[in-house]
């Protein structure tokens, strides 16, 4: 039988163990509630009381958004917690123009202090580009998939280029600007020969595990 002194020591040890566990788990492990019909898997967070605040998303009027540091909102189309990836909608174009709605802020920009980056499965298409881009290694040929996208639209007949967002490029932005290219879109897991009606338009982001 344990003595009162031994019991006291055990209680002190148990209390210290609980304190240390709490110290190493500063954020709530509670999964955030759905945003409308969209589940928000842990560690993604829409509120300080749930998820992990280092993985922020924004829920507004039952629609889930990704908020950039330039205060642009991009609708979240889908989330795959198993691969730790989510797909956001590319910005729309300004009415009757070949200019992305986030052009004024330089396009899509991710906060490099957060655990999100642009995955290497995105084929990015740039539109209304200046001729200087022809000096780059991007695909600006007649066979570029951007030619299919621009046909009959506001960007038809303007210089466009495409590229696969691979590891050699910055994984935290898709840049557009006046004097460069003024609009963009992106297709996830693009495959040659697949009709445009089967393209998955979006920008795929991945997040680092806890």
Residues in the chain where the model's pLDDT stays below 70: 1-28, 167-168
pLDDT of 170: 76
Beta bridge partners of 187: 123, 201
Residue-wise pLDDT for 77-112, tens only, equals 999 999 999 999 999 999 999 999 999 999 999 999
Helices (H), 24-123: none
pTM for the whole structure: 0.85
Question: Can you give the pLDDT at residue 172?
Answer: 95
**Number of Cβ within a 10 Å radius of residue 190:** 17
The two tokens of residue 132 are: 């200087």
Asked whether the beta carbons of 73 and 58 are under 8 A apart, the reply is yes
Whether 99 and 93 have beta carbons less than 8 Å apart is answered as yes
Q: What is the pLDDT of residues 6-15, one digit of tens each?
A: 434 443 444 4
pLDDT of residue 10: 41
User: According to the model, what pLDDT value does residue 75 have?
Assistant: 98
Dihedral class, residue 84 (left if φ above 0, else alpha if ψ from -120 to 50, else beta): left
């Amino acid at each position: 039988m344990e003595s009162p002194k031994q019991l006291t020591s055990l209680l002190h040890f148990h209390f210290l163990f609980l304190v240390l566990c709490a110290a190493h788990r500063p954020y709530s492990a509670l999964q955030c509630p759905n945003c409308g019909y969209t589940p928000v898997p842990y560690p993604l967070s829409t509120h300080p009381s749930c998820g992990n605040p280092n993985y922020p998303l924004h829920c507004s009027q039952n629609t889930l958004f990704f908020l950039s540091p330039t205060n642009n909102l991009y609708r979240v189309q889908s989330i795959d917690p198993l691969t730790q990836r989510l797909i956001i909608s590319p910005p729309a174009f300004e009415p009757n123009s070949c200019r992305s709605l986030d052009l004024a802020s330089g396009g899509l920009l991710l906060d490099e202090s957060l655990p999100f980056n642009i995955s290497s499965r995105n084929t990015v298409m740039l539109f209304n580009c200046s001729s200087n881009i022809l000096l780059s290694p991007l695909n600006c040929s007649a066979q570029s998939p951007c030619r299919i996208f621009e046909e009959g639209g506001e960007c038809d007949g303007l210089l466009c280029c495409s590229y696969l967002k691979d590891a050699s490029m910055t994984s935290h932005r898709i840049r557009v600007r006046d004097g460069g290219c003024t609009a963009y879109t992106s297709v996830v897991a693009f495959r040659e020969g697949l009709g445009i009606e089967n393209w998955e338009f979006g920008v795929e982001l991945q997040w680092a595990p806890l």
